[in-house]
A = this chain, B = another copy of it.
Amino acid sequence: MPRTPHRTTSAPGPLVATGAAGLALRPAAHATITGGLWAARRSVNAATSIPGGYDRLAEAGNLHNLRLAARAARRGAADGPGDGRAEGSAGGPADAAEAPGPADYVNDLPFLDSDVHKWLEAVAWQLGDPDTDDAEAERLTARSAEVIGLLAEAQEEGGYLQSYYQVVRPERRWQELNWGHELYCAGHLIQAAVADARATGRTELLGIARRFADHIDSVFGRGEGRIDGVCGHPEIETALVELYRCTGERRYLDLARYFVDRRGHGLLPPGGFGNRYWQDHAPITEATEVAGHAVRQLYLLAGAADVAAETGDGELLAACERLWEDMAASKSYLTGGLGSRHTDEAFGDAYELPSERAYTETCAAIAAVMLSWRLLLATGRARYADHMERVLLNGFLSGVSLDGEHYSYVNPLQVRDRYVPRSGDRGAFRTRWFHCACCPPNVMRLLASLPHYLAAGDAEGLVLHQYATGSFGLADGPAVEVSTDYPWRGLVRVTVTGTPGEGGAWTLTLRVPEWAAGRWRASVAGEPVDAAAERDGWLRLRRAWRPGEVVELDLGEALAPRLTSPPPRADALRGCLAIERGPLVYCVERAGHPEGTALDDLRLDPGAPLRESEEPGLLGGIVAVHAEGELRPPAPGGGWWPYRPAGAPAAGAGEARTFTAVPYHLWGHREHGPMRVWLPVAGGPGERPAAADGRER
């Protein structure tokens, strides 16, 4: 299938809301990233990660499993039309030879198809980027057409499409909503289809998705003979709203609303982790905190925010905002990472934020970006853009390596000197692919669609809420080009490239990041902007803009490295400070320090100034930060019991050292070694005193 003719503007991205939607902001119609940090990462994503994703899906059996489903679907069709359930299993013994069965299926997870769908979504967004290399675009077009063809073959006549239940457990279809992930996979299929339709103009995948959605719409709901239930893993909610936006079919929105409303009423069995795990303990409007599996919670809220926007449901939107605030205020790591528990990939209690066992799944970071973006668009509040930026540049970006071939599933904030990687806990270090490979294609689709997440239009004009070199424009005229070395440097230069035809006044709105509040300088066409132009985190510049006019926003003063305190209730972080610089969280790695440096004994001198240095040759080119402190070795003699009487004399002074910090998102590139974000402060309580007596300890 040939690619859509070469574009000069970007195709639409995610979240093209209807005119009726209640949104303060709408994504820019045109958005590209052409330089800087994100351009470099997106280039690797397009040239390495996405093409490699096809190979990984082939190696890991995902495509094989779809081929099995296609065989099963052909058998089902040959057996004649059924009711859309369990067709693949209906064959008698005579068909046994050709019937694929559980033993043929690769991997024991029921949601493998979703990795394929997310990869297709990534391909679509990439094809919608006008800067995608033509040869790459051609290859991706062909690869994705092949996979879409496979999905078409695997889809049953009734519309059903999930290889696991078609091949492994056909008799249990729609009967294991807790762990089956059927609606979850359908959701990702729909998202891929919407992306493919918007970005490439192709229609085949959209047709597949609609047939599946129609099937679901015929099976689920409150009516006679329908299944009144929700999926153990939210995802279809946001997808159905997008399908509504893409097709104009109201019943998809109604179905999304149904799934949002019915969660929290105990329709799912409690299961091993309890009903909070899948947010089935309380309806969204009644929940008092984010709870359970982090990705499930955040996908659900993203869908709820979409439903709220398209239905004008203020109560639902308020609930989403309230739960977001609980998340940000008491359950977010400094990196924006979310979900502290390994056992159930869940939010912990409020302020349960251990650095070393931070689970902070990459998918949870992606889900947080999706949610914060939706709430930003719905409300126009800068805090959501602040949080998006924090997650994107820290807890999300740590999930993929510079080479685009290695991913993190978990993103801890500390690796100890004696850390031992363990299989089974998804490790602390980057890996090529995973048995449960939800994160890598999720990274690919977010990077591929990233330009759309940076700029928006409001009632007054154009809003730049994230900064990257590129071009951004609204459908009705206002457009700009941005040039910046952000986040390394604080200068953002915005050149107006378009205005509405009538040439009237409009507002260019720029976000002032929360760490730069009151500490920016700006000029319009060389004239300084007054400090009063900042309000609620936004710098609003209203004017009859002419093409060529330049705005400069300088965040340089505020961008300087700083030390940050943890919340006092966060026990695991007490007595420590972290280094941040602009929107970037920094970490100290053993790599780059003298051999034998015990990171666990690092003590920071909070009074000594932080210095920075440009390091073009380090980790793809960074600004490093240097801090003073000491290495505080264990008390001489060691001993068998490490707890000591309080107030006993402290061990001798440590050895003065300068430590170098690098951006957190780049940790683990030089070696699989120790790392810390939170640095203990010298002289704090808890320093090891000398033994109080001479006895063997």
Residues of A at the B interface (CB closer than 8 Å) are 270-274, 276-277, 289, 291, 325, 328-330, 332, 334, 341-344, 346, 348-352, 354-357, 381, 383, 386-387, 414, 416, 418-420, 422-425, 514, 517-518, 536-537, 562-578, 600-601, 606, 632, 634, 638-648, 678, 680-681, 684-689, 693, 695-697
CA separation between A279 and B355, bound complex, in Å? 26
Kindly list chain B residues whose C-beta atoms are within 8 Å of the C-beta of A569.
600-601, 634
B271 touches A643 (CB 8 A): no
Q: Given A344-B422, A346-B422, list of 7 further CB < 8 A pairs? A: A276-B420, A329-B638, A517-B695, A562-B645, A562-B646, A568-B680, A606-B647
Kindly list chain B residues whose C-beta atoms are within 8 Å of the C-beta of A695.
514, 517-518, 536-537
Among the listed B418, B419, B422, which residue makes an inter-chain contact with A274, where contact means beta carbons less than 8 Å apart?
B422
A514 touches B352 (CB 8 A): no
B568 touches A688 (CB 8 A): yes
With contacts A424-B277, A693-B518 taken as known, whether A574 is within 8 angstroms of B577 at the C-beta atoms is no
CA separation between A330 and B418, bound complex, in Å? 11
A571 touches B537 (CB 8 A): no
B423 touches A272 (CB 8 A): yes
A420 touches B349 (CB 8 A): yes
Kindly list chain B residues whose C-beta atoms are within 8 Å of the C-beta of A422.
273-274, 276-277, 344, 346
With contacts A574-B684, A575-B684, A606-B646 taken as known, whether A328 is within 8 angstroms of B693 at the C-beta atoms is no
Kindly list chain B residues whose C-beta atoms are within 8 Å of the C-beta of A276.
420, 422
B686 touches A350 (CB 8 A): no
A568 touches B632 (CB 8 A): yes
Kindly list chain B residues whose C-beta atoms are within 8 Å of the C-beta of A420.
276, 291, 349
A273 touches B574 (CB 8 A): no
Kindly list chain B residues whose C-beta atoms are within 8 Å of the C-beta of A354.
354, 357, 571-572
Nearest chain B residue, comparing its CB with the CB of A688 = B568
A686 touches B562 (CB 8 A): no
CB-defined A-B contacts under 8 Å, sample of 22:
A274-B423, A277-B424, A291-B420, A328-B640, A329-B642, A334-B643, A341-B342, A342-B342, A351-B416, A355-B571, A356-B571, A383-B640, A517-B693, A517-B695, A536-B695, A562-B645, A563-B646, A568-B687, A570-B686, A571-B678, A575-B685, A578-B643
Kindly list chain B residues whose C-beta atoms are within 8 Å of the C-beta of A344.
422, 424-425
Kindly list chain B residues whose C-beta atoms are within 8 Å of the C-beta of A600.
351, 569
Nearest chain B residue, comparing its CB with the CB of A326 = B640
What are the 9 A-B residue pairs with the smallest beta carbon separation, nearest first? A567-B642, A575-B575, A274-B423, A563-B646, A574-B575, A273-B424, A568-B688, A272-B424, A574-B686
Kindly list chain B residues whose C-beta atoms are within 8 Å of the C-beta of A577.
646, 685
Q: Is the interface of A mostly helix, strand, loop or mixed?
A: loop
Nearest chain B residue, comparing its CB with the CB of A383 = B640
CA separation between A648 and B606, bound complex, in Å? 13
CA separation between A634 and B567, bound complex, in Å? 9
B349 touches A419 (CB 8 A): yes
Nearest chain B residue, comparing its CB with the CB of A419 = B349
CA separation between A422 and B381, bound complex, in Å? 34
Kindly list chain B residues whose C-beta atoms are within 8 Å of the C-beta of A576.
571, 574, 685-686
With contacts A349-B419, A357-B354 taken as known, whether A329 is within 8 angstroms of B572 at the C-beta atoms is no
Kindly list chain B residues whose C-beta atoms are within 8 Å of the C-beta of A414.
571
CA separation between A573 and B270, bound complex, in Å? 34
Max chain B C-beta neighbours (<10 A), residue from A350, A642, A696: A642
Nearest chain B residue, comparing its CB with the CB of A426 = B343
Nearest chain B residue, comparing its CB with the CB of A272 = B424
B328 touches A641 (CB 8 A): yes
CA separation between A687 and B272, bound complex, in Å? 38
A359–chain B nearest beta-carbon distance, Å: 10
CA separation between A570 and B414, bound complex, in Å? 12
A537 touches B696 (CB 8 A): yes
Kindly list chain B residues whose C-beta atoms are within 8 Å of the C-beta of A518.
693, 695
A425–chain B nearest beta-carbon distance, Å: 6
CA separation between A274 and B693, bound complex, in Å? 41
Nearest chain B residue, comparing its CB with the CB of A633 = B568
A661–chain B nearest beta-carbon distance, Å: 14
Kindly list chain B residues whose C-beta atoms are within 8 Å of the C-beta of A514.
641, 695, 697
CA separation between A356 and B348, bound complex, in Å? 10
A640–chain B nearest beta-carbon distance, Å: 5
Max chain B C-beta neighbours (<10 A), residue from A566, A574, A689: A574
CA separation between A349 and B482, bound complex, in Å? 47
Among the listed B274, B342, B416, B572, which residue makes an inter-chain contact with A343, where contact means beta carbons less than 8 Å apart?
B342
Among the listed B349, B416, B567, which residue makes an inter-chain contact with A350, where contact means beta carbons less than 8 Å apart?
B416
Kindly list chain B residues whose C-beta atoms are within 8 Å of the C-beta of A332.
641-642
Nearest chain B residue, comparing its CB with the CB of A519 = B693
Kindly list chain B residues whose C-beta atoms are within 8 Å of the C-beta of A693.
517-518
Among the listed B348, B424, B575, B684, which residue makes an inter-chain contact with A271, where contact means beta carbons less than 8 Å apart?
B424
B356 touches A418 (CB 8 A): no
CA separation between A5 and B587, bound complex, in Å? 71
CA separation between A645 and B645, bound complex, in Å? 32
A568 touches B686 (CB 8 A): yes
Nearest chain B residue, comparing its CB with the CB of A573 = B686
A446–chain B nearest beta-carbon distance, Å: 22
